[in-house]
Amino acid sequence: MIDFPNHSRSYDGTRHAVRFWGYDSAIEASFFVDEAALTRMQPGVPPDESGFLHAFDANRDKICAAAARVYVRGSRGSYDLGPSNF
């Protein structure tokens, strides 16, 4: 089962997404939630790093729940979440 105890997150301008991490025992998985998904969850979010990080923080529980649904143990190192995941 994946868990999200680490509240660190960062904006990745190259991927236009906020990156965060989940842990399944000792296995670390990276997750990316894209700008379009964040804008859908938080209409009117300023389209910049600070705005997207705030949108992520305001919707962390919903984002982590979506991440847990797409996670498959040992399947891959990173997962992308877009509007269709919410």
pLDDT category of residue 79 using cuts at 50, 70 and 90: very high
Euclidean distance between CA atoms 46 and 85, whole angstroms: 21
- Answer yes or no: is 1 within a domain: no
Euclidean distance between CA atoms 35 and 42, whole angstroms: 10
Lowest-pLDDT range, 10-19, 40-49, 55-64, 66-75?
66-75
pTM of the model: 0.92
Task: Supply the pLDDT for residue 17.
Answer: 98
pLDDT category of residue 73 using cuts at 50, 70 and 90: confident
Mean pLDDT, residues 15-38? 96
What is the DSSP code (8-state) at residue 15?
Answer: T
* Total residues belonging to the chain: 86
- Answer yes or no: is 4 within a domain: no
Q: Strands, E, within the chain: which ranges?
A: 9-12, 17-24, 27-34, 78-81
φ/ψ of residue 27, rounded to 5: -85, 125
Domains held by the chain: number: 1
- Answer yes or no: is 25 within a domain: yes
- Answer yes or no: is 79 within a domain: yes
Q: State yes or no: pLDDT of 70 exceeds 80.
A: yes
